[in-house]
Amino acid sequence: MKSKTVRIYIRMLSTLNLKLYGVVLFFLAMTTLPLQANELNLLFKQANNFVQQGNYYDAVKIYHELEKQSNDPHLFYNIGNCYSQIEEPGFAVYYYKKALYIDSSNKKARQALEQAESTIISASPAESSFTTRLIFDFYNMLSINRLAIIILLLFILLGSLIYLILSQKLNISIFAKRFYLTFSIFLLLMFISISISKFSNYHNNQDIVVVKKNTVIHKDEEGRIFSTNKKLQAGLTLRFLYSINERKAGYSVVALPNGERIAIEDSAFRKIRD
């Protein structure tokens, strides 16, 4: 009888110890996480102070440390600004595009990108009509998160409209009912199609940015790679096609804006979508 009682006490104590151990771990986690967040905030403020002092080299070093912990478009925008100040247009364009890849509605990053690309002859956008520019701005203004909210609201609106029509609580003509239903469905389908397009572009982005100045163009013909006298300007955006490591390690085939295929060193570019 006594041995049984002892065993019960031992089990109770072991259970109590496990609970205490879990509570201790919980409080340690709760106190450690804020410390990590505070450290990151302090580093971010320190980097911003370096930027205000014009010390862009030290600022970008800290930003790169923060980049390992964060995927924030505002951080990428700040890194792009630093590279723009130290005259590294390739990395500036790359980080502005990374910021826009995550949040296409970031107006500051878009303006900075347009300014950076204006110095790159091959990357300067062609003149477009007012209507085309308006559609382009509207498309980029809508981030994936905003589109999700809009679609949800349209679903609620359409559901409420159908309920009012079916319950005959909407005292309007049949023509008006059809018009409201058609217009609501049109808006819903339009925003769904835009969402699919943006989601597809987000996950299938194969764009690269040339970050190395005076990148040598190589030709990939007849199973061999040979150098040419032509060079690419840093900051130029190209389309990644495939790696050619099976023949020569460290090279990839990319497409120029005119569609021509060339080979360049992997160290000369960065993929926008990692």
In a domain, 160, yes or no: yes
Q: What is the dihedral of CA 241, 99, 235, 120, to 10 degrees?
A: 120
Alpha-carbon distance of 206 to 222, in angstroms, equals: 25
Q: Are 109 and 129 in contact, with CB atoms under 8 Å apart?
A: no
Whether residue 228 sits in one domain with residue 179: no
Q: Which domain holds residue 266?
A: 207-271
Q: 203, 223, 244: which is the final residue of a domain?
A: 203
pLDDT, tens digit (0-9, with 9 covering 90-100), for 69-122: 888 999 999 999 999 999 999 999 999 999 999 988 889 999 999 999 888 765
CA nearest 269: which of 229, 235, 246? Answer: 235
In a domain, 117, yes or no: no
pLDDT band at 10 (very low <50, low <70, confident <90, very high): very low
In a domain, 264, yes or no: yes
In a domain, 223, yes or no: yes
> Would you say the C-alpha torsion 73, 138, 272, 196 has a positive or negative sign?
positive
In a domain, 256, yes or no: yes
- Tell me the angle at which helices 73-85 and 2-52 cross, rounded to the nearest 10 degrees: 30
Whether residue 185 sits in one domain with residue 214: no
CATH of the domain at 233: 2.30.30.40
Whether residue 147 sits in one domain with residue 193: yes
Q: Are 242 and 261 in contact, with CB atoms under 8 Å apart?
A: no
Whether residue 167 sits in one domain with residue 222: no
Taking the whole predicted model, whether its pTM rises above 0.95 is answered as: no
Q: 169, 188, 203: which is the final residue of a domain?
A: 203
In a domain, 218, yes or no: yes
Q: How many domains does the chain have?
A: 2
**What is each CA distance from 162 to 148, 158, 174, 182, 267, in whole angstroms?**
21, 6, 13, 11, 57
> Would you say the C-alpha torsion 256, 86, 106, 98 has a positive or negative sign?
positive
Q: Are 85 and 56 in contact, with CB atoms under 8 Å apart?
A: yes
In a domain, 190, yes or no: yes
Can you tell me the mean pLDDT for 162-186?
A: 90
In a domain, 33, yes or no: no
Q: 185, 203, 221: which is the final residue of a domain?
A: 203
pLDDT, tens digit (0-9, with 9 covering 90-100), for 202-249: 677 789 999 999 898 888 666 567 788 889 999 999 999 888 866 667
Whether residue 244 sits in one domain with residue 264: yes
Whether residue 232 sits in one domain with residue 199: no
